[in-house]
Chain A
Amino acid sequence: MKIFITGIGGISAAGRNITEHLESFQLMRRNAGTVSLFDTFLPYPVFEVKSPLINKQKNEMRTLSLAMSALKEALHDAGLQKDFSGIKTGVCLGTSVASQLNDIDFYRTYRNTGAADMAAVDRFLKGNLAEAVARSIKASGPSITVVNACSSGADAIGVALSWLRNGVCDIAIAGGADELNRVPLCGFGALGILSKFLCSPFDRDRSGLNLGEGAGILILETEEFSRLRGKKSVLRLAGYGAAADAYHLTAPRPDGSGLESALRKSLADANITPQDVCFVNAHGTATHDNDKVEGIMLEKIFGQQIKFLSTKGYTGHTLGAAGGLEAAFTATALREGWIPASAGFVQQDENIPVRPITEQTQINGSFAVSTSLAFGGNNASIVISKDQGNQPEP
């Protein structure tokens, strides 16, 4: 069964919509700065979304505002209204921050006095990402909020693919959203994986990641549903694979076998070989371990000549949003026919046998892959295709 991508939406520090992202990519614009959303003395640069439209309502979680912004764009792109009454619609979104009740002011007051105002709790209870989005568009199908840490967005897209193929719904809203928050900033800082400089994925001198925020959403439809409503799209979600490292809570399995398994499963799911893939949008966080494992595995599976990049140099690591945003960028790149330079890369690491592209590059092919690795040893890989006539049929 073919599953079409009929709408794409994205918001991050690199742009408030997909068009602005393309501009940032072309100009290699990196909108990082110091934290302005909350007080902290931590010195790490971050990629914040600067938009007056985000968080206008005080009773709404910022993550939800980001998701609604990307959703609006994706629905417009798909030619859909914001009311799905009577349509079998699934909502599957990934996040990390929005799943936690981590309001410091609420907790501090409770701790000090044994009582606290319930406003933060109400915001949290109304803010379950998939449930809130499903309510807002009157979706009547399944809804799941995936909390697989940094692969949440990619896994959410994979869940939606399974739903659509199995007839659980006809159309699905899938992707991820996450806000910049003090808890992960402190936590990642304590783990020693934040960089004090702009991140440089896959570079020899990389020193860690920069946190970001954003949302990336795809509108996915079965072939029959999109045909019935007269929507044509050349983009398809062709495959998904996931595998667990079964190794460690925070570090990737050094031999990369979990990632390899996820990648090979996604290619098999799409019924293609590694040679069919024209580029990979890598997870590329700019941490020492992630980039090493990922680089070695990309070379092992796709060979030395594989074109790959990390877009985290433009967006920062948006955690639960990353898989959604990067799937949106991957689909857009296939549609546009070019991929941006991997921002931040200068020198090849002798322990990584491949190097990302360093300038805007034309691509000519039908399949692209987006990878996501996560805390907890989750690995996910998505295959997106652009229909160009004859091609393998899953």
Chain B
Amino acid sequence: MNIAGIGIISTRGRGIDSLDIALRQGWIAPSQTKSHSNDQNVFYPAYRVKKETINDITILKKIRRADKFSKMAVMAARDAVIDSGIQINHKESEVGIILATAFGPHVTTFRFLDDIIDYGDGSVSPTTFSHSVHNAAASYISSLLNIRGPTVTITQFASPIHQSLILAKAWLTEKRCKYVLIGCVDVCGNVMEYICNQKLRIANDGKIRPFNFSASPSSVPGEGSVFFMTTLENCQNKYCEIIPAYITNCDTIEKSDINIIEADGMAGDETSYQNTAPVDVFAGGYSPIFGSMKIISAFHCTVSALMLKKQIRYACPVQDNPYDLNLITKTESAEIKQICCIRKNCANKTDIIKLIR
């Protein structure tokens, strides 16, 4: 399965070019959000997407009621289609959509709960309710891009992008559609940041350290959206081939030019990442650019696809290296044929996503 186009919205901006710039710039400290608690001096770090990133006047009229979750999804999906250069035949319903999220539009859900608490069961907003439904974002994408193929929104805590890739491959093989827009989106909010603070160890300096392999790692919540336009066709402008797999034993991971270690503090104990970075393979890890997310694999796949297309190794944004790994320490041209993205998920499985030039 080939990645023909990519759209990305992250704390560092919109589009694949903004990602290239961010990767060259390296780590930038996240914003600090004031806690909702009674203690006015509590601040939470979070890699939030800036308002101006999703203020696109060319499409804003059509999605003016959409919340941040849907806007991030719509813009990344649209950018992926444009980036692919593929002209969609809308009559043939030849494009499918698979949108994965861990937590869905929870900010809007809480806004709806505000309605119930403040105004009572009979005086709530129907618009807020309809946007609190998980598949609102996919609905906006299909409406805006006039995509009329199969559309599935999935919610997963373990392996959302991995599961989406497996399903997309099945759809393409069965010829249910010619292209599949695969995307991931998650959003931050005050409540979720509070929950992260309660459930996870937050890095107060805002720095995720992917190579510390700690038993109690630090994280910093992030948000954003990534979409891939995928196809079995060997299109001219493609980034790379993408293949998902489960691995139970890290010794069996096929040797690549680069292993991307997806540790971001979201899935607990990271000690078992130690054997995923052999000395003769470059190790990379880019979660400090984006923040910690259940959907972080989608962002790492995007970095990998960009490296394969541009034949550039991007320096790791945070280079703390207590285990003396063969880290990518500077950005430079390189011959790269294959990258493995490795994620220990919360179900104690190792997800491997292999990207091949």
Q: Is the CB of A96 within 8 A of B121?
A: no
* Contacts of A106-150 to chain B: CB distance below 8 A: 107-108, 110-111, 113-116, 118, 121, 125, 128, 130-131, 134-135, 142-149
* Contacts of A366-388 to chain B: CB distance below 8 A: 374-378
Q: Is the CB of B150 within 8 A of A376?
A: no
- Name 9 interchain pairs, CB-CB below 8 A, sorted by A: A104-B117, A111-B117, A130-B156, A146-B154, A149-B134, A162-B174, A190-B122, A249-B136, A265-B176
Q: Is the CB of A244 within 8 A of B150?
A: yes
Interface residue B219 (Cβ < 8 Å from any Cβ of A): no
- Give A300-313 as 1s and 0s: 1 = Cβ < 8 Å from B's Cβ atoms: 00000000000000
Asked whether A191 and B126 contact (CB < 8 A) given A99-B134, A183-B113, the answer is yes
Q: Is the CB of A145 within 8 A of B191?
A: no
A204 CA to B303 CA, complexed, in Å: 57
Q: Is the CB of B158 within 8 A of A41?
A: no
Partner of B139, one of A144, A185, A243, A375: A375
Nearest-neighbour CB distance to chain A for B34, whole angstroms, equals 10
- Give B134-158 as 1s and 0s: 1 = Cβ < 8 Å from A's Cβ atoms: 1110111011011111111111111
Q: Is the CB of A128 within 8 A of B129?
A: no
Asked whether A131 and B157 contact (CB < 8 A) given A114-B36, A245-B142, the answer is yes
Q: Is the CB of A378 within 8 A of B130?
A: no
What residues on A are CB-neighbors of B93 within 8 Å?
243-244, 261
- Give A184-199 as 1s and 0s: 1 = Cβ < 8 Å from B's Cβ atoms: 0111111110000000
Asked whether A378 and B135 contact (CB < 8 A) given A42-B121, A189-B122, A245-B148, the answer is yes
A99 CA to B105 CA, complexed, in Å: 10
Q: Is the CB of A244 within 8 A of B117?
A: no
A248 CA to B157 CA, complexed, in Å: 28
Max chain B Cβ within 10 angstroms of own Cβ: one of A40, A142, A186: A186
Nearest-neighbour CB distance to chain A for B81, whole angstroms, equals 14
- Give B101-144 as 1s and 0s: 1 = Cβ < 8 Å from A's Cβ atoms: 00110100110111111001110111001111111101110110
Interface residue B163 (Cβ < 8 Å from any Cβ of A): yes
Partner of A249, one of B109, B113, B130, B153: B130
Q: Is the CB of A189 within 8 A of B148?
A: no
Interface residue B343 (Cβ < 8 Å from any Cβ of A): no
Q: Is the CB of B151 within 8 A of A162?
A: no
Partner of A121, one of B39, B121, B171, B195: B195
Q: Is the CB of A242 within 8 A of B135?
A: no
Interface residue B48 (Cβ < 8 Å from any Cβ of A): no
Q: Is the CB of B157 within 8 A of A187?
A: no
Nearest-neighbour CB distance to chain B for A364, whole angstroms, equals 31
What residues on A are CB-neighbors of B166 within 8 Å?
142, 163, 168
Interface residue A348 (Cβ < 8 Å from any Cβ of B): no
A378 CA to B134 CA, complexed, in Å: 12
Nearest-neighbour CB distance to chain B for A186, whole angstroms, equals 5
Interface residue B249 (Cβ < 8 Å from any Cβ of A): no
- Beyond A100-B132, A111-B36, 7 additional contacts (C-beta under 8 Å) are A41-B120, A102-B109, A104-B116, A148-B151, A183-B113, A244-B149, A377-B151
What residues on A are CB-neighbors of B169 within 8 Å?
166
A115 CA to B39 CA, complexed, in Å: 10
Asked whether A186 and B129 contact (CB < 8 A) given A135-B347, A246-B143, A376-B138, the answer is yes
Partner of A114, one of B35, B106, B132, B154: B35
Q: Is the CB of B176 within 8 A of A41?
A: no
Which A residues form the contact surface with B (CB < 8 A)? 40-42, 96, 99-102, 104, 107-108, 110-111, 113-116, 118, 121, 125, 128, 130-131, 134-135, 142-149, 155, 158-159, 162-163, 165-166, 168, 182-183, 185-192, 242-250, 258, 261, 265, 374-378
Q: Is the CB of B150 within 8 A of A187?
A: no
Q: Is the CB of A142 within 8 A of B163?
A: yes
Interface residue B170 (Cβ < 8 Å from any Cβ of A): yes
What residues on B are CB-neighbors of A111 within 8 Å?
36, 114, 117
Which B residues form the contact surface with A (CB < 8 A)? 35-39, 93, 97, 103-104, 106, 109-110, 112-117, 120-122, 124-126, 129-136, 138-140, 142-143, 145-158, 163, 166-167, 169-171, 173-174, 176, 191, 194-195, 198-199, 347
Which residue of chain A lies nearest to B195 when distances are taken between CB atoms in the complex? A121
Which residue of chain B lies nearest to A258 when distances are taken between CB atoms in the complex? B148
Which residue of chain B lies nearest to A183 when distances are taken between CB atoms in the complex? B112
What residues on B are CB-neighbors of A40 within 8 Å?
121
Q: Is the CB of A191 within 8 A of B174?
A: no
A189 CA to B39 CA, complexed, in Å: 38
Max chain B Cβ within 10 angstroms of own Cβ: one of A146, A155, A163, A187: A187
What residues on B are CB-neighbors of A148 within 8 Å?
135, 151-153
Q: Is the CB of A145 within 8 A of B167?
A: no
A203 CA to B145 CA, complexed, in Å: 36
Partner of A166, one of B122, B126, B170: B170
Partner of A185, one of B121, B151, B347: B121
Q: Is the CB of B109 within 8 A of A101?
A: yes
Which residue of chain B lies nearest to A166 when distances are taken between CB atoms in the complex? B170
Nearest-neighbour CB distance to chain A for B253, whole angstroms, equals 18
What residues on B are CB-neighbors of A131 within 8 Å?
156-158, 347
A248 CA to B155 CA, complexed, in Å: 22
Partner of B112, one of A147, A187, A376: A187
Nearest-neighbour CB distance to chain A for B307, whole angstroms, equals 28
Q: Is the CB of B142 within 8 A of A121?
A: no
Q: Is the CB of B135 within 8 A of A128?
A: no
Which residue of chain A lies nearest to B125 when distances are taken between CB atoms in the complex? A190
